[in-house]
A and B are shown apart, each in its own frame.
Chain A
Amino acid sequence: MTEHSLWRFSRALHRAINERQPADLEALLDEDVDWAIYGPIDMFPFFGSRRGKAAVIEVVRQIAENIRVHRFDRESIMLGVDSAASMMRYSLTALDSNKPISLRIAHFAQFKAGQLTNLRVLVDTFDLVEQAVGYPIHLPRMAV
């Protein structure tokens, strides 16, 4: 039974982030890969959309300069023929402040011939921002 593309991609991505070794990841990216991590790009410049292998390798390099992954637990995973979706909890360190960050992430990945063609990542960004700035954001409560 062939290993699903998600597992190879996941290992390569974490190696690119934690060990700053992007070669495995580069081999698993489609030349025209469409990549997006939704979130406030003015606070986290490595969020947002990227197109193409070179742009994705560059943004992963930026992520590696900003965070270190300590642990991730898959809470839910679905594997399609050429697609996958996961909900995960990550424990990270923000390297500039040395702050521990815990956040929940969902991703949708699509593959073609074993290479990543599309990645969408959603993050609980309000929680992430509060953890990054280190204090709760006070805003008016919405009426029920």
Chain B
Amino acid sequence: MTADLHRQRLLNFLDVYYAGDIEGALARCTDDVEFVANAPVDLLPHMGHRRGTEAMREMWTTVHARYSEMRCEVPILVAEGDRVAANIRVFFRKRSNQRMVQFDIAAFYTFRDGRIAQIREIIDTFDMVEQVLERDVSAILRNDKPE
């Protein structure tokens, strides 16, 4: 029963977040919400580890500023107790050149008192970096091996 409630809470959170309502998304998180995403933070400095409302607001504002359109699909959702895992397919349109970026995220949420207290994400980062930076990293590796 609790799992079903959290499943719906997560879907509501994603609706609000991808509609661009950052304050609405923050209202669905605890004040000490923790976010951890595996990502090369030297390339994507807004990602990595964040804790607390202000840090999340800063990160999400950075992300929303880069994309004119954001939407997602959730093909798989697994809920147990106060935790929900979602396979999220995201579609972002870049403001800079209108190109679409699409990749999948494995996002694991923990709820406390009906709000999201922890978000942990695993992303196919190689694909994400190639799309976000618009670089063929495989080609760079073929041509740029160190001595």
A residues contacting B by CB (< 8 A) are 38-40, 42-43, 76, 78-80, 83-85, 87, 104-108, 110, 118, 120, 122-129, 133, 135, 137, 139-142, 144
| CB closest residue in chain A, given B75 | A120
A contact patch SS: mixed
A118 CA / B75 CA spacing, docked (Å) = 11
A108 CA / B105 CA spacing, docked (Å) = 11
In order of increasing CB-CB distance, the 7 nearest A-B pairs are: A106-B106, A85-B85, A126-B125, A125-B126, A124-B38, A38-B124, A106-B122
Name the contact of A104 in the complex, choosing from B38, B78, B105, B138 (C-beta under 8 A): B38
Name the contact of A122 in the complex, choosing from B46, B83, B124 (C-beta under 8 A): B124
In the bound complex, do residue B133 and residue A80 qualify as a contact, i.e. CB atoms below 8 Å apart?
no
Most buried by B among A40, A85, A107, A139: A85
Contacts of A118 in B (CB 8 A): 76
Give chain B's interface residue range (CB within 8 Å of chain A): 35 or more
CB distance from B138 to the nearest CB of A (A): 5
- Mind listing 29 A-B residue pairs with CB under 8 Å? A39-B124, A39-B127, A40-B138, A43-B138, A78-B78, A78-B79, A78-B80, A78-B83, A83-B76, A85-B106, A87-B120, A104-B38, A104-B122, A107-B106, A108-B76, A108-B78, A118-B76, A120-B76, A122-B105, A124-B122, A125-B124, A125-B126, A125-B127, A135-B146, A139-B43, A139-B137, A140-B43, A142-B44, A142-B132
CB distance from A105 to the nearest CB of B (A): 7
| CB closest residue in chain A, given B103 | A38
Contacts of A43 in B (CB 8 A): 138, 141
In the bound complex, do residue B84 and residue A78 qualify as a contact, i.e. CB atoms below 8 Å apart?
yes
The digit string for B38-61, where 1 denotes a CB below 8 A from any CB of A, is: 111011111000000000000000
